[in-house]
Structures are given as C-alpha cells and as structure tokens.
Structure 1
Amino acid sequence: MKTGQQKMDWARQYMPVLGSIRKEFEETKPLAGVTIGMALHVEAKTAVLVETLAAGGAEVYITGCNPLSTQDDVASALGKVPGVHCYAKRACSNDEYYAAINRVLDARPSITIDDGMDLIHELHTHRQDVLKDVVGGCEETTTGIHRLRSMAAEGALKFPVVAVNDTPMKRHFDNVHGTGESSLTAIMATTNALIAGKVLVVAGFGYCGRGVARKARGMGTRVVVTEVDPRRALEAHMEGFDVMPMDEAAKVGEIFITTTGNTSVVTAQHFPLLRDGAILSNAGHFNVEIDVAWLEEHADAVERRDGIDTYVLAEKKVHVLAQGRLVNLATPKGMGHPIEVMDLSFALQALSALYMVEHGKDLAPGVYDVPNAIDEEVATRKLAALGIAIDALTEEQKTYLSAWDIGT
C-alpha cells in the first residue's frame, strides 16, 4: 500500500487541472448522494480521478477494465480512501474480472464511467436489474465508443452516455501524445531494444496511430503505416510516411504496433512473412488485433518472461509483448499515459460525470458529445496552470464571425 500511496502522491503534483476541480468539489460537494460505478485502468492517475469524485461527495465503486493493467499497490491504497471501494486485481482470470464488475454493479450506480464499455455491456446483458438506477455514463476510449454507437443504432442502449474519447481535448492530447509516448516507452523498457534506425510498422493512422508514428519518427525510426481508410492513408503519405498493405509491411517491419481498435490485424497470413526477431505489440484497447491464439496453437516453442512471449515458427522467433494486450499498461513496466496528459482526460471525465448528474435525466438514451463548454474549460484551466495567456475575440470580431452580409 505504501508504494501505491507514493505513486498517487507523485501523480497528484503533476495534475493541476484535476486538482483545481477537486478543490471546488470539496467546497461544493456537487456529487453528494451520487453512486458512481467505474471500470478503468487502476493505476496512479486513475486514483487521482477517483479521489476527486469522492471529494465531491460521491460513493465510488471501481474495478479494472483490463486483466493486466491494474497496479495492485495502487488498488490497495485506493481502497483506503474514504468513500471508495476498489475491487481491481492484476492478472485476474476472466471469471474474476467479471465478478469484480458485478461487485461494482451490485452497488447500483447512478453514474457509470467506462474504458472499453465492459461495465455497460455487462449492465445491459446480465445485470438489467440495475438499469433503472442509472442516470447516465461516460466512456473513455475509442473502442468503447464504437461499441456504444452500435448499441445506440440498434436501440439497445438504455441510457445516455457522454463520448469523452471523441472531444478535441481528449483526442489531440490523450490519443496522440499519450498513446504515442507511452507505447514507445513501454516497448523500450520491456525489450531494452534500440528503436532508432529500425523499421516500425504502425497499423492504423487514427489519432492514436498518428501519435505513435510521429513520435517514433522523431526518435529515428523508419515508419511504415498500414491503413484501410483511403483518406487516412493519403494523410500518412502526405506526412512523409511509407504506406503499404500489412502483407508487404510484414516482410520489412522489425517492430509492430497495432492501433486500429479492430480485430485480426496481424494474423496467420502475416506470421510466416515476419523477419526473425520481429516484435509485435498492441496499443488498441482489446487483445484482438494480433492473433495470439493462432501462435499459441501453431508455434513450435514458447518462452515467457517479463512481458514478452517468444514464439518459434519455422526457426524464426516472433516476440509478442503483453500477450497482445495494451502494451503501455499491460507490460510489467508499463505506466500508461504520461501524468499531464491524463490530467486533461480525467478532468473531462470528472466534469462530464457532473454534467450527467445534472442533466442525465433530461437526455434520451444515446451517445452524446462532451459539451463544448466543458472541453474549453479544461483547456482554459490547463493554460492557467501553465501561466499562458491568450487573446480574446473583440465585439467587432464576434460580429464579423456571426454575420452573413459583410462582403469584401
């Protein structure tokens, strides 16, 4: 517990935006009487968010959203915070994982906060007895938003959810800078391999993929991008990256990072094409992008150590990091996104949760954008913390921007 508390103390000092929100929450208690159920990566930055919600008066029940991303010392320390109940455990079985989610749902939360939508999925499929208590929810990541939009399109989603992932203050900082830096850091810390000069293949050029690609290029790698979207592929080309299908990239890549949020990106058809010693990693939420199950079944030998599973295929070694799970969190040395990045994302979560407390009952079931006022507020608080001042529109400029009859 001591080390967990130390990690939380360290993170807190680099999270001024969330700190300013916590100070206001402590004074006004806007979440008094609210029960919040959470399934997130339980590590130090998440703990600071949980402390903030509890400081606002909420009773918080939390578990993990990935079997390998919990830091047990942080989970232990978090469970000692007044008003917080933590059920997360690292390296839990599938049954233990869902048992913990159900313990959160046993608290009958009125607000849900998810990363990947497993909590909401369980709520809608096996715990519909709790649905009537839920006012609204928040979703943190791309994969979860995809699933929620599918539910909403089919009329299956039974309450409103804020798509925290889709707002500019999340995409441009968490997805780009957070995923970019933390994924590469985890790969280097886990393998101790030099990445400068190597060919690094990034699957997907969305916000996460472009963050990885840009950061990797800055560190001296030769970046190859694979895509299925012609517009994103063209964007990657215009930024100077090599673009090719995975069938071709598999032959030249030395390090691979999947960021698509989709299934079956590196599969049985690609494994025989890989170079000896290829390193495979995933930065998408679920462990479906690399077909690890095929390797488990067909590899001649497997060696497991410190977040690396080595498979031998036709005398070639293929190294898979973190069992194909989130490389920046699921490796033993993975610390997740940088603290300052998560300060912004979790500030969005805290304010979006408050928004749902205040407005959720007035919203129909569906997926909603983060209100622009909240997005701008987080940016404004961050600039203030950095001591940066910016201009403001004059009345003349506001009039010009809103008028249609002003010509040349």
Structure 2
Amino acid sequence: MKIASIETIPLRIPFTTGGPSAGGVWGAKDLQVVDSLVVKVTTDGGITGWGETFGFTAVPAVKLIIDSILAPELIGRDVSQREKLQLELQKKFHIFGRSGAFLFGLSAIDIALWDIAGKAANQPVFQLLGGSDASSLACYASLIRYADAELIRRNVQRAIDSGYRHLKLHEVDVECVRAARETAGPDIEITLDVNCPWTVREALDMTAKLRPFNLRWIEEPVWPPENYAGLAALRKQGGIPVAAGENASTLLDFQHMLEAGAVDFIQPSPAKMGGITELRKVFALAAAHNVDVMVHTFYDGPGLLASVHASAALGGGKALVEWRYFDLEAQLYGDAILPRNGRIAVPQQPGLGIEPNLDVIRDYRIAL
C-alpha cells in the first residue's frame, strides 16, 4: 500500500479546569480553549490512519510543515516502511532543526502509519509492539497550574473523588504543593511538573522545601531542559526522584540523558519526538539503564492512544498514563477513552483501536 493523501485538521475545543488557569508553558492566563492538530493519512487501498502532533500555539507552524514539506515527500511512498521513512526524512531535513515543528509533524504521520499497520494486520497496535495482557492501565490526573491554594484543594479533591490515586501538579509555589498534600493525605501519589524554571542551585533550594511532601518525582526542574549534568546533580543531592524527557527530541537526546544518570523516570512524548517508531526505542534504551518510562501525554487524541498502546506492550506493568485533567466541551473519542476509577482502557480493536468522532471534527475544526 502507498500513501495517497495526508490531511491536517486543526481543532479548537473549549474547556474548563475547575477554576481559572494561572497560565503556563501551554498558554496564557485564563486559557479557555485547547488547540490540537489531528493528521489523517489515507492509503491507495482506502485504509485511514490517524495521528496527532503536540498542539496549543504550535499548531499553525506544524500544519505548515506537514502541508508544505512532509506531505509532498510522502505521497506515493510505501506505508510499511515506517523506519526507513523516519530516518530518511530526519536526515534530509536536519538543516531545519532537530526539534520543534518538523519533528512534531513527523511524529503525527508516524502514529498514523502505525494505525494503518494495525488495521491492515487486523491487530491492535500493542500486539504489533509485542503484546500485552493488560486491559487497562493506571493513570494520573494531570492538573493545570492554578497558583491558588484553595483551587488546588478543590481540584485535588475533585480528582480523588473521581477515582484517581495518582495526581500531577504544575505548581511552582511551595504552599500550593502543601495544600495538595494536605488535601490528598499520605496515600495518594503526587508528582510535580514545574516546566524548567530554575537553575540547579535554585532547584536544590526548592527540593529542600518540597521534600516533606513525599513527591513521587519532580519533573523538569532545571533550565535549560538539556542540562543533563545539572539534572544528574539534582538527582544525587535533591532527595526527590527526577523525571524529564518531554522536551527531548531525538533518540540521541534520550541516550545522553540516560548516560548522564539524569533521571529516575524518562518521559518521551510520542507526538513530539518521532511517534511510535522512536518511542519504542526509548523503552529499550531505558530498560538497558534500569530507568522506568512514563510517557508524556498532555493531549487527548491519537497521540494519547499511541502512548496507551506502547505503555501496555512495553511498560512492564509499571507505566502510568498521563490524563490531561481538562473538562473538554467535546471529546474526540466520546467517552470511549475516558478513565474510570483512575484507569484507562487499552483499546482492543485493530490499529489504535478507536476512530475519531467525525461530528466533533466537523463542529470544532478551525481554519488556519
């Protein structure tokens, strides 16, 4: 089979978060809509695969890259040659950068090609990756940044009441973390993603203040994110396990991170770093370094499904799935993938296992 068409579909879906957002790396203060880019790849045999890029304000740039550079290169190519296409396009266009919009777009197309491969083989993607006995995986509610202790208390309790036993905060204030732990009690696992704000010295000062709250990990504590030596120093001295990887772009980035001893948990983002083809290699690298993979999934579409399939097949029973704890006005998959009692189903149908709701695409598609 050959690639017949590649269509980029930008979506904008309103959401609430249990209170106003304080802003963060994903968007402005009081953000009320989430932008995403879904990619539809169709073969000459009529099989359709779906992929997703990392979204928000990156959507226009990624759409342009796919439409003007990647799609013209890929039309007419063999859909089964995912590995070859990945390497060929990374090499051909490396002069435009080894991260950002180009790799985001390549990631979405790769995910769609895996969806096609599963459908052609009449198997779910997790079976193509080695198989799994898991019908569901534990997930954690990934809260937006509130920067308000009362909102933290309210939404931590809301997540716990919904059945979550694992939570992620995006706070940078000690009192907000304290409020979360006091509300959750000692038995709920809490992780903290601070999105690269501090020098190593500042991070060490902060971990000293945060240690009493028994965090499972502190995520991306150091600026710049590629300061792997700094992460390694914090890991040795800070007293809190370290997680990072959502901003790493290539397999070599992950190799350098692991060789530096920078992390206890590594977090590749399949909608950013090459899709499932590259994601499975990170699992292998991490296993060789005895480091657990916790896939970054701050999205709701095919990228999330890719993460679920890979985690089920390759996560060794340890993986947690990140669930973006937004109250979306509409879900791309309806209620088919919504977590229940803190667990998310592993789709059992061929390919990624769930088809997007075309009514949602029609109603929330935007022009760029």
Q: TM-score, normalised by structure 1?
A: 0.29
Q: Which protein, 1 or 2, shows the higher relative CO under an 8 Å CA cutoff with sep ≥ 6?
A: 2
Higher helix proportion, which one?
1
Q: TM-score, normalised by structure 2?
A: 0.31
Bigger Rg, structure 1 or 2 = 1
